Structure 1
Amino acid sequence: MPIAESKPSRLLCYYGDDFTGSTDVLESLFRSGVRTVLFLELPDEEVLQGRFAGIEAFGIAGVGRALSPVEAEKELRPIFERFKQAEASVVHYKVCSTFDSSPTTGNIGKAAEIGSSVFGGEYVPILVGVPILGRYTLFGNHFAAAGEEIYRLDRHPTMSCHPVTPMKEADLRRHLAEQSGLKTALMDILSLDGTGEQVQERLKCLVEKEQPDLVLFDVLDEERLEIAGRLIWEGAQRNKSRFVIGSSGIEYALGATWKAQGMLQQNRELIVDAPPVSRLLVLSGSCSPVTEQQIIHASEAGFALLRVPAADLIHPERAEQARLQLLKEAADLLEGGKSVLLYTAAGAADPAIGAFRIALDACGYHSEDSSRLLGSILGSIAKSLIVDTKLKRIVIAGGDTSGYLTRELGIYALECVAAIVPGAPLCRASSQDPCLDGVELVLKGGQIGGKDFFNQVKKGSGSEN
């Protein structure tokens, strides 16, 4: 039995570069027994010491993945400065486990530059692999599952042709070099083998020899993930607040280390009161093939499907009528006891995507405005449906639109209550509006879940038993 080490009052703060990824971190900390709250805006001390007194970690759900470098500077710097004041042992800039980013949109290198300037100290660790989600990094190259197959990122059927940030380079060092002048060194899979002392010495030699700004850690399995977590945590003990970049693999790695050191509760019950619901509302802004199959299966399982007339919803003359019509159709179905799925596209080949791009151009918008516009519109619709039909649980699918959509709901915090499907936990919302306070919410990335995902969420915690 390990001897429990002294635990800091606040283990971790994090910023999620999209909302689905933010709840992914929430889930990983929940699984480790770390009480965590995800806020939609920066909380003040009154909130942290009031309703959420005693939390060990907190996060901010952001939209960094959709921002330009200039916008990222405005968004991230004040948040990082606030995190520095919170004196958490680790400050995590959370990115998608498929690392999708580009020099102009969701620039991870820019986030690294901002974080380094705020926190200083040693190199910035980068860890992206998450074995539980089928994400692996080997000799610097990143791999991700699609169905039953594992693909190198530049050959992945979805990420290689992502509509906003297509991944054309699997070597994450090369990918980062296109976004920033920061130097990246690699702690490869072979360097992570051996005793703790041997691995520590290899990392020390790597840093002394290459003098890197960033150190990328390979990840293949849970064993090496825990080793990386131990190295990151040891580094955090040498710094007042250690800035790190990566997927929820960071939290799985640190959680394993914290457990091994006796710092966390053991045998925490993962499923907390997640009964089935009679009606579920799903709002999908995802065009991934995984979500496409989930939409098809939902229809077969009895969900009513309604296509979102995206082009009409941004047209100045047709928008209001289109919104009212969609609201009425959805409300009538929900009031009739049906589960409803609103979707903007059924897969990457859906002609609606091209039609929406034409509509954006015709209305004077740019392609990068699409997530904000669709997310805000769908969020307004979702809020009306929750209030009018007294819904208890909803699902939001699609990382790019989820942030804007969730911000429209009028909620200010989320806590994980059940780990139903890895990567997409069931969360309980906090809101000043009694109609929204306590609503259950699942945020699903495009690549997450099996074909029965939406039905699983409707069935609740018993769906895997």
Structure 2
Amino acid sequence: MIGAIADDVTGATDVAVALHRHGLRTLLFFGTPLSFGTPDAEPDLPPHDAVVIALKTRTAPREQAVERSLAALDWLRAHGVGQVYFKYCSTFDSTPEGNIGPVLDALADALDAPLVPMTPSSPEHGRTQYLGYLFVGERLLSESHMRDHPLTPMTDSYLPRVLEAQSAHRAGVVPLETVRGGPAAIAKRLAHLRSEGVRYALLDAVEDGDLASAGQALDDLASAGQVLGGLRLVAGAAGLAAGLALAHEVSKIHEVAGDPPARVPAGRAAVLAGSCSARTLEQVRAVIEHGRPAHRLDALAEPDPDPEALAANALTWYDAQRPEDGAPLIYSSLPPAELHEVQQALGRERSAELLESALGRIAAGLVERGVTRLVAAGGETSGAVVRALGVTGGVIGPEAARGVPWIFTPSLTLLLKSGNFGEPGLLLDATRTETP
């Protein structure tokens, strides 16, 4: 069984759907489950082949990120997981003070893993690695929009150097030529890197086929047991997880009773959008232009704004909407100039906390009012929603868009969307009366 630890909520849904897409029945938990022990002690878990635990550690202090990641690892091991996948962002969001290196060190030590293969490459999202350098589209990472990220500005594209600045161990590269040489060539290169004292092996990949080749090689090595420690720990973005899942798909997964439904259940729907990414702004605009009811959270409407008042106003507005007008949208997403104005007035951290708290309260109010199909746009928004609702996890279902799966819980169906994912019409399509 594969167990994944993800450093944020929408990253967890991305890796979960990558596993599900290739036939692995996948459970997703928001935070580490409270119960420990053998799988037999876990009550009423659906049949599954993979488990993903979503943490909120991407920008957390190192000590906190390590502690939470090790707690997740303890649960996965007690649950019978044989191979652990640490999922980080495909843009390797982490400065020299970041926590990817410390978390990897801690997980590798706990698993006694002498070598950790990894790559952030995710070609379907425009992230590729070549000769150890990470590209976003046709630009080096350090020349992309990530250079100016407010929390994790990425000013170096050479991943071994970025990782070694955070870790106590060496990093090396498995070049593209070797990856395309197939599983035997990859295995030989990994063994060579290990003999040179390298702990982290960054695999080049510029196409999905490269990730499939890498996944097959890693699956073969893991099956070999003691070779390179059995590769008990692998890391990267969702792309390499898909490669591993593809290798499992060949002969190990079978449909059984208890598989998630192929269609999303009908029910009253609503959308909450907090991401300020260009794609989410497009999606919000599409909803408004279509004529759906939409309410903007105005953080500057009052001299001393508070989340409870913002939420109360939004829910009062919601109560006045007619179901026949379509699924309502409540949003705080703003274009850069307006976002800057809010951050200047309230401060970056206060404005984010205000809006996240308001969106969480609104989510709870919507569910109380009978919403059973809820869409959240943005990683922080998704985290606020699941915390406010007390949702502990669910079963991964069909994708509404590439990398954006529906999540089935006992009383609610969720769609948690990373800010930049999905076509412009996603929020409209996902909340139509009939959803495939």
In the TM superposition, what is the alpha-carbon distance from 1:151 to its structure 2 partner? 3.4
Stretch moving more, 167-176 or 243-252: 167-176
How many matched pairs?
428
| Pair 1:113–1:200, CA change in 2 (3 A) | closer
CA distance in 1, matches of 2:399, 2:152: 29
Structure-1-length-normalised TM-score: 0.83
The corresponding residue for 1:120 is 112
Relative distance call for 1:332 and 1:449 in structure 2 (3 A) is same
Aligned to 2:368: 387
Give per-residue Cα distances to partners, 1:198-246, cap 9 Å, x unaligned.
33223322322x3112111111222221121123223433346712221
Give the Cα separation in 2 of the matches to 1:273 and 1:122: 43
Contact 1:100 1:167 in 2 (8 A): yes
Could you tell me which of 116, 127, 131 is aligned with 1:139?
131
State the Cα distance separating 1:194 from its structure 2 match.
Answer: 2.2
Aligned with 1:64: secondary structure? Answer: coil
Task: Show CA shifts across 1:275-303 (max 9, x none).
Answer: 666x5322222111111111111211223
TM-score, reference length from structure 2: 0.88
Within a 5 Å distance, the mapping from 1:313-392 to structure 2 comes to: 315=304, 318-333=306-321, 337-347=325-335, 349-356=336-343, 358-360=345-347, 367=348, 373-388=354-369, 390-392=370-372
Shift of 1:193: 2.2
Task: Describe the superposition over 1:310-360 as per-residue Cα deviations: whole angstroms up to 9, x where unpaired.
Answer: 457994x7544333112211332265644222222323x132344235424
Q: Helix, strand or coil for the counterpart of 1:190?
A: helix
Q: Distance in 2 between matches of 1:211 and 1:185?
A: 10
Instruction: Give per-residue Cα distances to partners, 1:132-178, cap 9 Å, x unaligned.
Output: 33322111122234xxxx43322334x33322222222222232233
CA distance in 2, matches of 1:36, 1:460: 26
In structure 2, C-alpha distance between the alignment counterparts of 1:368 and 1:47, rounded to whole Å:
43
1:130–1:248 CA contact under 8 A, matched in 2: yes
Check 1:414–1:373 CA distance in 2 against 1; reply closer, same or farther (3 A cut).
farther
Give CA deviations for 1:260-284 in whole Å, capped at 9, x if unaligned. Answer: 4x1223899998112666x532222
Residue 220 (1) aligns with residue 206 (2) = yes
**Matched residues in 2 for 1:232 and 1:371: separation?**
40
Q: Is the CA contact 2:179–2:205 (under 8 Å) kept in the aligned structure 1?
A: no
Distance 1:151 1:252 in 2: 24
Q: Is the 8 A contact 1:399 1:446 kept in 2?
A: yes
Q: CA RMSD in A?
A: 2.9
Give distance in 1, aligned partners of 2:421 and 2:64. 28
CA, structure 1 residues 292+204, in 2 after alignment: closer, same or farther (shift >3 Å)? Answer: same
Q: CA–CA distance in 2 between the matches of 1:371 and 1:258?
A: 41
Unpaired runs of 5+ residues, structure 2, are none
Is structure 2 residue 169 aligned with structure 1 residue 182? yes
- Shift in CA distance, 78/48, structure 1 to aligned 2, threshold 3 Å: same
Q: In structure 1, which of residues 62, 66, 87 is the aligned counterpart of residue 59 of structure 2? A: 66
Q: Is the 8 A contact 1:177 1:183 kept in 2?
A: yes
Are 2:116 and 2:231, in contact at CA under 8 Å, matched by a contact in 1? no
Measured after TM superposition, the shift of residue 255 of structure 1 is 1.4
Q: Contact between 1:302 and 1:339, CA under 8 Å: does it hold in 2?
A: no
Aligned match of 1:282: 271
- Tell me, in whole angstroms, the C-alpha distance in 2 between the residues paired with 1:256 and 1:138: 22
Distance 1:418 1:48 in 2: 29
C-alpha distance 370-405 of structure 1, shift in aligned 2 (>3 A): farther
2:394 is the alignment partner of 1:414: yes
Counterpart Cα distance in 1 of 2:308 and 2:399: 38
Q: Which residue among 77, 100, 105 is the counterpart of 1:108?
A: 100
State the match for 1:253 in structure 2: 243
Summarize the Cα distance change of 1:168–1:201 in structure 2 as closer, same or farther, 3 Å threshold: same
The answer on whether the counterparts of 2:299 and 2:351 sit within 8 Å (CA) in structure 1 is no
Letter in 1 for 2:90: S
Q: Kindly tell me: are residues 371 and 232 of structure 1, through their superposed partners in 2, closer, same or farther at Cα, counting changes over 3 Å?
A: farther
2:423 matches 1:423: no
Residue 447 (1) aligns with residue 420 (2) = yes
User: Cα deviation per residue 1:391-421 (whole Å; 9 max; x = unaligned)?
Assistant: 1211111123422331111222121221221
Q: Aligned partners of 2:40 and 2:375: how far apart in 1?
A: 26
Contact 2:314 2:330 in 1 (8 A): no
- 1:37–1:415 CA contact under 8 A, matched in 2: yes
Where 1:286 maps in the other structure, the secondary structure is coil
Task: Name structure 1 gaps, 5 residues minimum.
Answer: 1-10, 361-366, 431-436
Contact 1:97/1:246, CA 8 A, preserved across alignment: yes
Q: Which residue of 2 aligns with 1:96?
A: 89
The CA distance in 1 between the partners of 2:309 and 2:354, in whole Å, is 17
Deviation at 1:87, TM superposition (A): 3.5
